[in-house]
Amino acid sequence: MRALPILALLLAACGQSGPENGISENQIDRVSRPKEVPDPRPASVRLEPLLMADIGLAACLFSRDGETVLAVTAADAAARIEGRLLHLAHSSPVGPTGGFFEDRQISISIGRLSETRGPTGAWPARATITNRRTQAQGELDGLWICAEANEGRA
């Protein structure tokens, strides 16, 4: 018999919804959506994904989250920043350990972080992007891979 009043109270509490229980739909909506985390790097050093047409016959690629953000050919390197496709000159030899690329405003340095290749044949690497005009600098961890035939000669 004592369970009957407790059961009645539980059923009454479960039937309440909306503002009576102290939680509004707006509060539920805010809690249920993950908060967007802004990219801390300034826009002037944020590498954006390249299109297939931008890549061409690349000898080496730097990618992040499955998207290529730097493509290196024998002639130059392509990167996209603030929606603009940039062509950067090689400033050092390019190979499996990385490379250095620059134009008048932007420089990008790629350096391998490990001596061990990942399962895809790419090395963990870090890109350091510097904008000389704005003095902004940013780093981006990703994967670096060079075609076997072109390693050391890109």
Please state the domain count of the chain.
1
- Domain membership of residue 36 (yes or no) is no
- Share of residues in the chain with pLDDT > 70 (%): 71
- Which structural domain range is residue 84 located in? 44-150
Query: Is pLDDT larger for residue 27 or for residue 57?
Result: 57
The answer as to whether 78 is a domain residue is yes
CB 53 within 8 A of CB 66: no
> Is 30 inside any structural domain?
no
DSSP 8-state class, residue 145: E
CA 54 from centre of chain: 18
Contacts of 149 (CB under 8 A, 6+ apart): none
Dump pLDDT digits (tens) for 94-131: 999 999 999 999 999 999 999 999 888 899 999 999 99
Q: How far apart are CA 8 and CA 19, in angstroms?
A: 21
Residue 106 lies in a domain: yes
Q: Please report the pLDDT score of residue 27 as a whole number.
A: 66
In a domain, 31, yes or no: no
In a domain? residue 127: yes
Q: How confident is the model at residue 66 (pLDDT cuts 50, 70, 90)?
A: very high
What is the pLDDT, as a whole number, of residue 42? 74
Flag whether 14 is in a domain.
Answer: no
Average the pLDDT over each of 51-60, 96-105, 142-151 and give the range with the smallest value: 142-151
